[in-house]
Structure 1
Amino acid sequence: MAARGTRPVRIANCSGSITDPGYQMHRQAELGPIDFITGDYIAEANLAWNASSYRAGQHPGYEPTAKDGLWRTLPVLHDKRIKVIINGGSLNPRGLAEEVDQEIKKQGYKLLVAWVEGDDLMSQLPELIKSDALVHLDSGNKAVKLHPNAMGFRTKPVVSANAYLGARGIVKALDHGADIVICGRVADASPVIAAAQWWWGWKESQYDELAGALLAGHLIECSAYSTGGNFAGFDRYPVEIFLDIPFPIAEIERNGEVVVTKHGNTNGLVNADTVKCQFLYELQGTEYLNSDVKAEMKDIVVEEVGKDRVRVSGVKGYPPPPTTKLAVFYHGGFQSEFVINATGYATKEKYDLVEAQVKHRLQQMEILEYFDVLDFQRVGVPEENPQTQLRGTTYLRIFAQAPKSETLLGLIRGFYDVFMQHFPGMHGSLDTRTIFPKPYYAYYPALISQSLIQETTHLLRSPPISLPAHHPLVYAPLLPRANYPPTSPVPLSTFGHTVPRPLGSLVFARSGDKGANINLGLFIPSSTLEEWNWLRSFLTHDRMKSLMGGDWREGYVLERVEFAGIRAVHFVVYGVLGRGASSAAGLDVLGKGFAEFVRARWVDVPVRFLEGGNRGSRL
């Protein structure tokens, strides 16, 4: 590692999900000069998935892919003096840290391991529930109506309750010589903030710089999403580019500005469009909150400064809010699902029939009223005059949730009772594993005072030492999120003759889940000022409702903002995912497909924007 603080710090991401294999950490360490490797292994659900098994002694509590990455990479970390900060400790950061420390000693390496605790608030939860202290994350928007069962954690067994920690405990570990820092539920960007803060020696009051590092962490924390993964413009490039996509690297400068890049001689791509797509992912308006800093990003600028090098600047920082997020997961009940297929003629009527038959039988059995959810979801539209059977086949997904597993067993019995009364040609997979009831976990995103969190860093040296991490010195109150119509809208008639085209023939987009909500950011790549004026004038609140078509429901709430510096419009749709990904009834529980649905919708596009460019329908 070069002398600390003499050049931009190079931070490489190795994971954005538990699915990312260990070799990604090793590859980042081996392929080129870097100073830190950070990894985000925790989604909002996998803490809950593993909590019961961990407490029963059937799961290690940490993420096995994180352990695999460390085991593969320890020799390179030792040789190159690369530091690692990951949240792969999940429910058991101490356990993973101690195993890593034992392996280091066994191999004779000189690496100091630390672990951070304080995120697990299960022991405090009964008192927090009793005191009614757990305000919902979306409580700041008075128009939002929570899911009818949103407060179920008050009466049902809670399996996990983890607060989103910031960078302070990690910085404390680095200050005391740690080479590997194992965390539980720290916020996604906190490892990157900590690495940059320690490297540059920033004070906690250098909010602009910290906000820049927060943005950098957001840009690189999600696997390959800045380097070609989940990229709306992938179809404009050869498919070979997207084979074995590398993960991104953030070069963070003294002032907090960041250049996003990747290792040379690898596939994937880093350009303004891939970075804008990732920037717009999983936002909630123009403010990005962390327990160390609040970043205001409405004026960010994204510019290409070289091959696979994109600079992002313009973010402003402010003191953090007095609260942080507390992810509470509880037993929501039981669920089951199964699918049946129909081919060709009269598909609508076929699905109408099976839905009527099943519901009628459940009424006869006197159990229909006991379901929390009973959906008959029609997936796909059969091709007219299909040339193969598959092209004329769609499926019906029957999805159910109920407080008791017996109710779902009744659904199975009722379906079997009418099975042989089916519509002509009904068929499907013989695999019935998903039909049997299984428990599901519901999610309650709460706000909790940072003063209630006791964060501690433990260093596994001889003798071990423990260091409390202090709370932020200054807080700034949470303000209502921005929400406004187009600024200085231009009459759409001024853009001339239009033709009906998919919105995606012109517009890129990225969407994702935030609790019960979906966010969506849209922009025109390499847009002119005229195209930007059209996009922001076109994408009104009412337009977004119409683009959602039959998926829009009364009770949903829309927020809309603009990012003029990158010529993008951003929406948050409250309530689409019920209580969140772990219990959502739809197919797209993570909201990733929402953007592509909106891009597939046909709209009136000005002809002048389509002429002379590589813009056309892919449908």
Structure 2
Amino acid sequence: MAPSKDSPRRPIRIANCSGATPDPGSKMLEQAVSGPVDAIVGDYLAEFNIALNATGYHEGKHPGWEPTCEEGLMLTIDEAAKRGIKIVVNGGELNPKGLAQKVAEEAATRGLDLQVSYVEGDDLFESCQDRIKSGGVAHLDSSNNHVKLAKDTDLFLKDSSASLLTANAYLGGRGICAALNAGADIVICGRVADASPVIGLGLWWHNWQTDQYDELAGALIAGHLIECSGYSTGGNFSDFERYPMERLIDIGYPIAELAYDGTSVITKHESLNGIVNVDNLRTQFLYELQGNVYLNSDVKADITNIVLKGVGPNRVSVTGVKGLPPPPTTKLAIFYDGGYELESWVYATGRNSDVKFDLMEKQVRLAFKQLGVADKIDVVEFQRYGRVDHSIHNQMANTAGLRIIVHTRDEASLKNIARSFIIYGMQPFHGAHHGNLGRAGSPRKFPAYYPGVIEQSQLKECAVLLSAQGEEIKRVPVQPVAKTESLQPRDNFSITQNPVDLSTFGPTVNVPLSKVVLGRSGDKGGNINMGMFVHTPEEWDWLRTVMTTERMIELIGEDWRPEFYVERVEFPNIYAVHFVIYGILDRGVSSSTILDAFGKGFADYILDREVDIPKKFVDYYAGRTYDVEKPPVNPKI
């Protein structure tokens, strides 16, 4: 049903059904039938999905959209028509038109009265080559003078032989709103920003103007809080061990109740498993931030003073977000043919794994020279994983791994690079064994990643409505945002204001940070972001005093490199400190040689580092567990 022209209207209830392509289509149907919702959104695209499917799509071997999104739509359209639920998804990927046509035809076959549409304008593949030749594409971090880009980051801009795979701009919610205003029931998008479906629904439902920045910023953060599906209801939660495990299996996904003023309440269907509380929402809020200003092509959200407050079982209100005009640019995710990647693992058991791996590395490097491929290799790394734990008496706990990974653009060298891994296979270190014998060194093509920016004024976005036969019946052009505001240097405070004398907290014990501190990390291209938080004002005074930029560098330890750069900000209302570590993921995403290429495990590494923590804090949390209905109580938040 169309939104009322009288405002304010009741909050729109928006359910999320997907945070990535692994989420099954059944989750969309589950959100539709488990309780009342006005709309369902699904985010199916990680940054590299489009590139992974590009070659197959252009060769006619892939439909160009995400199969789990199609599955969800086919399962759900009957209920959507019956209940009047709007559906907005980005699973159209490379071919939103094709998926929209398929859904329109299926809806007609079933006799459903549904208006299907799609949004176009994100795919800049055809124009990007000319853009590169005429002056290049600025890197997302190029305006930050402190950031040193990783080696070969802009290689494809200089290499005329580099084959472009995809180039997609991150769109906002205005195209989605245009489709809904034109009568669409289902809106299928390609590369819109993760939170844009919620922004578009908020614009439509509440009849906001595009300069109502506080409201738009609130929608942006509501979208950010629910965009990762299970991450807001118990998944990827650093305090999960304190809750009944059976409540964290097959969890329901989140719902945002977005009000006219841009504030929201995050919740879930009560009949489904999972957790929605302030702690879990803080971990999701801190995930994949850029700092204290969150960007979208519709609005900038100043999140410095965000407040999260429990307002009932599985209900958390979100207030305190301030809106600013959007930036003049938006992200342009470019993927190109990075060449080939070869990988091999070898394992060592016992106390002397390091010297064993030293021998293996010397042998392989010599083989590269002997087989004439040393100068054909763009990247080679010998990464050591795990340490022997002599306190556990089984072989798995006493085994460490060496990961050898190579990138090359020289196809003729592949065979000899692979041979280099095994040519000294009968001269190994004592006890060497391979977990991937028979697959070691098997080359695979990989898409390399370049996060660029593009002026919003250069985009040609359009909402397109289809007939029941999948034919175009209406086009609604979307004008670029009327007002923009250039990005200012990000806030960065290496230490807190008014630090507290640590001796006032009493005796300390040297234990992992995780005994008291919670947090989450993620990736932003070649950078890692990490947020960490505590529960009480006294703990906050300690955390903000202890967790300086210098302390973060110290905790990163041997992984730190002089070319990295750290930004630090605080969120005082939620007792959180947030860091961005620039360059630590190399070129990022599919270009990264790091095993944890998306930075998911970084928080666990940092929180596992031992520091001096006030004993009274540690004692309070020792052995403490929580019931889902009675989460930790914070007197301020």
Answer whether TM exceeds 0.5 for this pair: yes
Render the CA deviation track for 1:435-489: whole Å, top value 9, x for unaligned. Answer: 2111111111111101110001110137711110111111111111111121221
Q: In the alignment, what sits opposite 2:502?
A: 492
Q: In the alignment, what sits opposite 1:270?
A: 276
Alignment of 1:149-160 (within 5 A): 149-154=152-157, 155=159, 156-160=162-166
1:312 paired with 2:318, answer yes
Moved more, 561-570 or 122-131: 122-131
Q: In the alignment, what sits opposite 2:568?
A: 560
Q: In the alignment, what sits opposite 1:504?
A: 514
1:401 is aligned, of 403, 407, 431, to 407
Q: Tell me, what secondary structure is at the counterpart of 1:394? A: strand
1:99 paired with 2:102, answer yes
Q: In the alignment, what sits opposite 1:24?
A: 27
> 1:491: how far off?
2.7
Q: Distance in 1 between matches of 2:216 and 2:391?
A: 59
Give the alignment's TM-score, normalised by structure 2.
Answer: 0.94
Residues 400 and 616 (structure 1), Cα distance of their counterparts in 2 relative to 1, 3 Å cut: farther
Q: In the alignment, what sits opposite 2:77?
A: 74
Moved more, 499-508 or 2-11: 2-11
1:364 paired with 2:374, answer no
Kept in 2: contact 1:400–1:408 (CA 8 A)? no
Q: Distance in 1 between matches of 2:89 and 2:412?
A: 41
Residue identity matched to 1:605: I
Q: In the alignment, what sits opposite 1:44?
A: 47
Q: In the alignment, what sits opposite 1:591?
A: 599
> 1:152: how far off?
2.1
Q: In the alignment, what sits opposite 1:162?
A: 168
Kept in 2: contact 1:48–1:441 (CA 8 A)? yes
Q: Distance in 1 between matches of 2:176 and 2:68?
A: 21
Render the CA deviation track for 1:273-316: whole Å, top value 9, x for unaligned. Answer: 00000000000101011111111000000110000000011000
Residue identity matched to 1:511: S
Q: In the alignment, what sits opposite 1:448?
A: 454
Kept in 2: contact 1:133–1:448 (CA 8 A)? no
1:415 paired with 2:421, answer yes
Q: Tell me, what secondary structure is at the counterpart of 1:543? A: helix
> 1:346: how far off?
1.5
Q: Tell me, what secondary structure is at the counterpart of 1:305? A: strand
Q: In the alignment, what sits opposite 1:140?
A: 143
Kept in 1: contact 2:418–2:440 (CA 8 A)? no
Residues 194 and 3 (structure 1), Cα distance of their counterparts in 2 relative to 1, 3 Å cut: closer
Moved more, 122-131 or 544-553: 122-131
> 1:31: how far off?
0.3
Q: Distance in 1 between matches of 2:450 and 2:58?
A: 21
Q: Tell me, what secondary structure is at the counterpart of 2:342? A: strand
Render the CA deviation track for 1:188-218: whole Å, top value 9, x for unaligned. Answer: 1110001111111111111100100000000
Kept in 2: contact 1:511–1:595 (CA 8 A)? yes
Residue identity matched to 2:556: M
Q: Distance in 1 between matches of 2:467 and 2:62?
A: 27
Q: Tell me, what secondary structure is at the counterpart of 1:560? A: strand
Q: Structure 2: which 5+ residue stretches go unaligned?
A: 626-637
Q: In the alignment, what sits opposite 2:243?
A: 237
Alignment of 1:449-598 (within 5 A): 449-461=455-467, 464-485=473-494, 486-524=496-534, 527-598=535-606
Residue identity matched to 1:357: Q
Q: In the alignment, what sits opposite 1:608?
A: 616
Q: In the alignment, what sits opposite 2:304?
A: 298
1:435 paired with 2:441, answer yes
Render the CA deviation track for 1:230-275: whole Å, top value 9, x for unaligned. Answer: 0000011121111101110000111110100000121110000000
Q: Distance in 2 between matches of 1:519 and 1:207?
A: 25
Q: In the alignment, what sits opposite 1:12?
A: 15
Q: Structure 1: which 5+ residue stretches go unaligned?
A: none
Kept in 1: contact 2:330–2:453 (CA 8 A)? yes
Q: Distance in 1 between matches of 2:126 and 2:384?
A: 44
Paired residues in the alignment total 615
**Aligned-residue RMSD, C-alpha:** 1.5
> 1:347: how far off?
1.4
Q: Distance in 2 between matches of 1:405 and 1:577?
A: 26
> 1:613: how far off?
3.2
Q: Distance in 2 between matches of 1:352 and 1:616?
A: 44
Q: In the alignment, what sits opposite 1:175?
A: 181
Q: Distance in 2 between matches of 1:438 and 1:612?
A: 51
Kept in 1: contact 2:34–2:271 (CA 8 A)? no
Residue identity matched to 1:610: V
Give the alignment's TM-score, normalised by structure 1.
Answer: 0.97
> 1:417: how far off?
1.5
Residues 521 and 300 (structure 1), Cα distance of their counterparts in 2 relative to 1, 3 Å cut: same
Q: Distance in 2 between matches of 1:293 and 1:312?
A: 17
> 1:398: how far off?
1.0
> 1:146: how far off?
0.8
Q: Distance in 1 between matches of 2:408 and 2:103?
A: 42
Residue identity matched to 1:494: T
Q: Tell me, what secondary structure is at the counterpart of 2:252? A: coil
> 1:12: how far off?
0.3
Q: Distance in 1 between matches of 2:143 and 2:501?
A: 33
Residue identity matched to 1:395: G
Kept in 1: contact 2:421–2:441 (CA 8 A)? no
Identity within the alignment, %: 50
> 1:552: how far off?
0.6
Q: Distance in 1 between matches of 2:105 and 2:395?
A: 58
Q: Distance in 2 between matches of 1:612 and 1:535?
A: 16
Residues 436 and 194 (structure 1), Cα distance of their counterparts in 2 relative to 1, 3 Å cut: same
Kept in 2: contact 1:499–1:607 (CA 8 A)? yes
Q: Distance in 1 between matches of 2:450 and 2:440?
A: 25
1:57 paired with 2:60, answer yes
